[in-house]
Chains A and B, each alone.
Chain A
Amino acid sequence: MPYCVQCGVELDPDAQSCPLCSTHVISLESERMKSENKNQMLPSHQPPSNFDRHLWLQLVSVGLAAPVLICLLIDFLFDGNIGWAWYVAAGFGLVWAWSIFPFLRERNIAPLWIALDGAALLLFLYFIEKLSGKTMWFLPLALPIALAFIILLEVFVILIQKRVLKELHILSTFLLGIACYCLIIDGFVSEYIANDGGLDWSLIVVVACIAFAVVLAILQRRRWIVEELKYWFRV
């Protein structure tokens, strides 16, 4: 029978390492029994969610299609053509897309549905510009600002999912993301309005966000503070 040299406990004949301290078990191959771990071959169980995905998709689709159809009908009956009802249809279309993309697949893949929701947002903005017709604001203003938002959100979510960011680092990165996004908004808005691209109010936001992010990054290094914060915020 093998024993753990660190803990002194007796181990399973087929144990590769001690379950208590992970110390590698050194034993002669002839002594090691060939029996497999009884539970190793068992499948893992994941209880199904009580949330009915298909019912949600049906409810949202019908629930949003009904008012859109009513608006289109009213607009057509009163004016003889469809005008304002297109705005309603576009708005409801965006809400529909945002409501169903997260639930399209059984397994929730956040980066995928964020990308799809982002594409729906860009399409909506483009459609609104085409409907309003006169000013050109989609390409110089809406597209870069919306695209920057989608990319920053994607990066943030992927970093959390890959566990690169943990606890207070999530908050500090979020603040840095806000700072970055404010710079982008400020730059493109200045470029669009005054054609100078200079930065103004965003610098105040950046300084505040960086200061808080640094404080949070320092706090993260003190383990007991993190535990205290988790306790007080019931995380």
Chain B
Amino acid sequence: MDRTNKEIVLENTNHPSPRVFRLDNAALVYPAVRGSKNPNIFRISADLVEEIDPHTLQQALDASLRRMPNFSVKLRSGFFWHYFVTTNKRLLIQPDVSNPCTLISDKENDGFQIRVRYHHTRIALEIFHSITDGAGALLFLKTLIGKYLMLNGKSIPAENGILDTSITPGEDEMRDAFHQFAGEQRVHRGKPVRAYHVTGTPLPAFKTNIITGIISIHALREHTKPLGVTITEYLTAVLMGALQANQQDANPRHILPIRVQVPVDLRRFVGSKTFRNFSSFITPSIEPKQGHFQFDEILHLVHHFTRYHVTRKYLSARVANNIKTERILFLRVMPLILKNWLISLSFKMQGPRSYTSTISNLGRLDLPKEFQKWVRSFDFILGYSQDIKVKCAVLGYKENLHINFTRSIKEANVEREFFTHFVKRGIPVRVENY
């Protein structure tokens, strides 16, 4: 790792000429609103069985970036839009830090919008949300680890999302799939409703608190199956219940709706292979002004809300609405500096103010047995934000579900309420500081 960047660039001169990508529809907003208080970064990490060899990891990263070139890009500002341009520089792996998901600065990262960190047995990928969503990042990390294990002499088949790095990237893998998915009909989001926000003692700048709760998938499924709900619906309802209790304790006089944003991967509707952003979200909510909601009532509401909204028709109509906004002539001809200001203002007025928290579930990883033998666990972490003070990210692997809470305040009341829900119902929870 002690070679200079110049030497490394000379080694990589066989790269093709730079390629320019437009930002996809979901990615447009992030460059305008990102900052040290809201870096819009998320992280997926894997804990391997053996100690990481940095040299081999660097080689694996080089190969993975060649296979997935939309991750090897710099973010540039044009006159009208931001755009990505591929770079021939080499992204260097970095040692891990105690406060993940800090803002990616051009100065320290050669313009790359991703970081790969390592520490003992852990490999972590931190990524700016404009590049891709959780599913895309997971694909990259699986490919990276697969290549790393292969370089270490392990036999890993290129299947279940582990890509063969010797294959040339396909056009469909780098396509902005939103345009293909958008329907002809549009559905408006409606007037943004002000939602409850968790409050507490702010942590110092660049500090974040992450708590991991580990629950057996089998135990949870046994519990949710008779209720006829999915694990995501159940976890969303538990989070909403915890937020309701938090509001009752913190501010019983001024009750606001509890709204939780739940991202939805759109790949499952059209079988898209894209590595870029391709997700939308739904926002189930409860209105505690109507009275205290029992957990069963919340679960019932979340279940039916999800079933009604997570359909191809509804989501494609929502995407169509976003695409339509992007195509407004007035916005297209507006210079980027004004566009950034307008997006930032609109985001401040409508974005995080209209929901209380986020819960993102990437599902249970289905990986080849040869791979599972060498990887102990996976963790998914959403970056901190000053606007949304508590966020939740979920990822299942092997027998366990890892639920990571990121918070930018000292108090862990929401997490406590969340995890004790399971303990009260006889589902064991193991809690760790990440």
Q: Which residue numbers of A lie inside 8 Å of B, CB to CB?
A: 4, 7-12, 15, 18-21, 37-40, 42-50, 223-224, 227-228, 231, 234
Contact = CB atoms under 8 A, between A and B. Distances in A.
Given A9-B420, A42-B98, A48-B108, A20 B254 contact: no
B206 A10 contact: no
Contacts of B429: 9-10
Interface stretch (B174-182, B333-341, B411-419): B411-419
Contact of B412 (A21, A45, A46, A224): A21
Interface in B241-255: 250-251, 253-254
Contacts of B207: 44
B211 interface: yes
Contacts of A21: 412, 416
B102 A8 contact: no
A44 B120 contact: no
Given A18-B431, A21-B416, A45 B97 contact: yes
Contacts of A227: 199, 251, 254
Interface string B417-434: 001100110001111111
Given A7-B416, A9-B213, A45-B102, A19 B251 contact: no
B97 A42 contact: yes
B62 interface: no
Given A11-B430, A20-B419, 8 more contacts: A7-B419, A9-B429, A9-B430, A11-B431, A19-B431, A19-B432, A39-B434, A50-B107
29 contacts: A7-B420, A7-B423, A8-B423, A9-B213, A9-B420, A9-B423, A9-B430, A10-B431, A11-B430, A12-B433, A19-B211, A20-B412, A20-B415, A20-B431, A39-B433, A42-B96, A42-B119, A43-B98, A44-B97, A46-B102, A46-B206, A47-B103, A47-B104, A47-B206, A48-B105, A224-B251, A227-B251, A227-B254, A231-B194
Contacts of A50: 105-107
Given A9-B431, A10-B429, A21-B412, A47 B420 contact: no
A113 to B, nearest CB: 19
A119 B109 CA distance: 40
B325 interface: no
A38 B120 contact: yes
B251 A223 contact: yes
Nearest to A12: B432
Nearest to A8: B423
Contacts of A45: 97-99, 102, 206
A12 B214 CA distance: 11
A41 to B, nearest CB: 8
Contacts of B250: 223
A24 to B, nearest CB: 15
Nearest to B429: A9
Contacts of A15: 432-433
Contacts of A7: 416, 419-420, 423, 431
Given A7-B416, A7-B423, A9-B420, A224 B253 contact: yes
Contacts of A19: 211, 412, 415, 431-433
A4 B251 CA distance: 27
B105 to A, nearest CB: 4
Contacts of A39: 96, 98, 119, 433-434
Nearest to B105: A47
B102 A20 contact: no
Contacts of B36: 47
A48 B412 CA distance: 29
Contacts of A44: 97-99, 206-207
B76 interface: no
Contacts of A234: 348
Residue from B95, B254, B416, B430 having most chain A Cβ neighbours under 10 A = B416
Contacts of A48: 105, 107-108
A87 B311 CA distance: 73
Contact of B97 (A4, A11, A37, A43): A43
Interface in B87-141: 95-99, 102-108, 119-120, 122
Nearest to A4: B431
Interface string B300-311: 000000000000
A45 B43 CA distance: 15
Nearest to A45: B97
Contact of A224 (B119, B254, B423): B254
B205 to A, nearest CB: 8
B98 A10 contact: no
A43 B97 CA distance: 5
B250 to A, nearest CB: 8
B428 A10 contact: yes
A48 to B, nearest CB: 5
Interface in B163-222: 194, 197, 199, 205-207, 211, 213
